[in-house]
Each structure stands twice: as C-alpha cells, then as structure tokens.
A and B are shown apart, each in its own frame.
Chain A
Amino acid sequence: MDDAALPKQKDSGTSPLDKLIKVPGGAKDAGIFLKECRHSGKLILRGDPSDDLFIKSTSKVLGYKLPLTPNTFLKNSEYTSVWLGPNEWLVNSLPGDDSSLENDLNIALTDVHHSVTNVSDNSTIIQLSGPNARSVIMKGCAVDVHPRVFNPGDAFQSNLAAASVIMWQLNLIPTFNIMVRASFASYLWKWLLDAGAEFGVQIRL
C-alpha cells in the first residue's frame, strides 16, 4: 500500500484542552511549568520481542531497538518508545508523523506477527516540569518518583489523581510527559493547576 492510498490523517486542529482558558504566563519564579504537547502521534505496537526479526525490523524504522526493560523508554529526535508490557509499546511521534510511521512499521513487519494501532486522538500529552514537579505528582500518585529510584529514561503506567496515565521522565529539571485520555485531559489539567498552586504555576505554549 502506498502513502497516497491511505486516508489523510485528519487534524481537526482542536485538542481536548482547547475548551480551557490556557493563558500563557504566570509566576516568574514558578515551581511548576505546564504545557500541552498537541497532536503528537501515538501508536500502540505489539509483537514478540523474542522474535529477532520483530526487533530488527522495528529498529530499522525507529532507529533503535525497542526497550525490553519494564517501565523504561528510549527515544531519538523523532520517536519515543515506551515499554507498556512484555509485548507492547507506545510509540510517540511528532505531530503529523503518525500515519506514515504506521505505514512504515506495517511494511517493515509484513512477514512478522505484529499489530500497530493508531491511537493518536485517543489521548493528549501534558508536559509537567519544574523544581516542584515531583511534589505535584506525589499528591496524586502512589508510584515512587524519587530520583533514587526514578530518573530520566524511566516510565510508568498508573493513576494520577485517579486518572489513568502513562508517564515518562525526560530530563533532570525534572520534566515529565503525562499521557492522558482526551476525556480526562481537562480534569487532569485543572487538577495540576490546583495541586501546583502552592508552588506557583507557569503555563507555556
């Protein structure tokens, strides 16, 4: 199947967080920064990691081997791959890249038992960073994010303020990407504003 035959991924230009009044700005010395990563591509990739061909074929497309350590992720400038289960990964790509990546993976894996599901519009990503980011997470999540056990490269799936999330730590600021279902996004955004209020919140575009 060539690219032209695929239905164009429709970008409606809206996000589940658009209904909120997200005015950029806030305290200069804010303890946390919030930002929405709009319209990034999200694919659920499944396959057998003990099948060499699966690992080789996916690494040809992604540029690196899928992470096999539970609750970790790997990334390059284009694709972030988060371990979700022993045969399941989330591949997060740049906005607009998802259809071509889906196609590339399916072609590379033609003769390999696998599945690729595009779930881009099912959820959005809220980026939480700043010196007090951990304290905010700790208010709504039982998973330990202390640096002695949780660092850049680590990820987890759990509940944040009772909303089901996939979260991964990008750097030492620290910065966390929080992937949340569209229907929970505005709730979680408001919760983050509330939980972060005592530290000062700055909203970025």
Chain B
Amino acid sequence: MLYIKCPWCGYRDDAEFHYGGEAHIKRPFDADSLSDEEFSEYLFQKSNTKGLTLERWVHTSGCRRWFNVLRNTVTNEIIEVYPSNQLPSSQAGKEYYKNNWRRKSAAESLTTRQVEK
C-alpha cells in the first residue's frame, strides 16, 4: 500500500490514484524525420528501473489532477512529488533525469533541436 501526497489534497490512500507510466517522455515534433526504430524507441521503450524512477500519477478519486513522483521501486519510498510541467528539484531526481537514456534518444534530441530553432 502506498501513501501518496497529492500536491493539492495532501496524503491519500493509493486506491484513489492511478499510475500514468514514466514521466518526461517528450513527444517529437517532427515524428516523420525519425526512423521506425527511433520512433518505436520513443513510443514503446520504458525505463522500468529497479530503484529510482520518475513517474506520472493522477488523483482519480480526488481532484483528478496529474502530477509527477520520484519513487524508489524497491522500497516504495516516495522521495519527491512535483507538478507535471516541471522537472524534479531533489538532487536524486535531477540526477536520475539527467542520466536517463532518453535524454540521448533520437526522439528527444529532435525535440530539443526543434525547441532551439
């Protein structure tokens, strides 16, 4: 049983929430320029780490808002809860985000290129 702190409602039973998969998967703007392999990497490959992971949750039975969570999948410890349009602010969260393979994926480098233009 998880005890999750919704950013709006505070601590609630995990039965009130739904899991929304890995956080920070950026949709490539120009998906046509990706190869099938690169696109499938963006769409299907999930991190599924043993240890820290950044994930999305929604408070289904409560305020119905989405937010992000830094959780340890081994201990179920929730280290950080933060808004879905932001990056983690804890040291562990920042490192996990930075070192995630996705940051170097073709889909994401394309997103960054597009934003920089």
Contact residues of A with B, CB < 8 Å? Answer: 70-71, 84-86, 142-143, 156-159, 164
Would A159 and B16 be within 8 Å (CB), given that A70-B8, A71-B9, A85-B8 are in contact?
Answer: yes
B8 and A143 contacting across the interface, CB-CB below 8 Å: no
Residues of B within 8 A of A159 (CB): 15-16, 61
Query: 21 interchain pairs (CB within 8 A)?
Result: A70-B8, A70-B63, A71-B8, A71-B10, A84-B63, A84-B64, A85-B63, A85-B65, A86-B8, A86-B63, A86-B65, A142-B12, A142-B16, A143-B12, A156-B62, A157-B9, A157-B61, A157-B63, A158-B12, A158-B16, A158-B62
A-B contact count (CB 8 A): 34
Contact residues of B with A, CB < 8 Å? Answer: 8-10, 12-13, 15-16, 61-65
A157 CA / B10 CA spacing, docked (Å): 12
Q: Which of B15, B63, B65 is packed against the most chain A CB atoms within 10 Å?
A: B63
Pairs A-B, 7 closest by C-beta atoms: A142-B13, A70-B8, A85-B63, A157-B62, A159-B61, A158-B61, A164-B61
Interface SS of chain A: strand
Whose C-beta in chain B lies nearest to the C-beta of A159? B61
Residues of B within 8 A of A86 (CB): 8, 63, 65
A142 CA / B62 CA spacing, docked (Å): 12
A70 and B61 contacting across the interface, CB-CB below 8 Å: no
Whose C-beta in chain B lies nearest to the C-beta of A143? B12
B65 and A156 contacting across the interface, CB-CB below 8 Å: no
Whose C-beta in chain B lies nearest to the C-beta of A70? B8
A143 CA / B13 CA spacing, docked (Å): 8
Residues of A within 8 A of B13 (CB): 142
- Nearest CB on A from B86, distance (A): 15
Whose C-beta in chain B lies nearest to the C-beta of A163? B61
Residues of A within 8 A of B63 (CB): 70, 84-86, 157
A70 CA / B15 CA spacing, docked (Å): 20
A70 CA / B7 CA spacing, docked (Å): 10
Residues of B within 8 A of A156 (CB): 9, 62
A27 CA / B21 CA spacing, docked (Å): 51
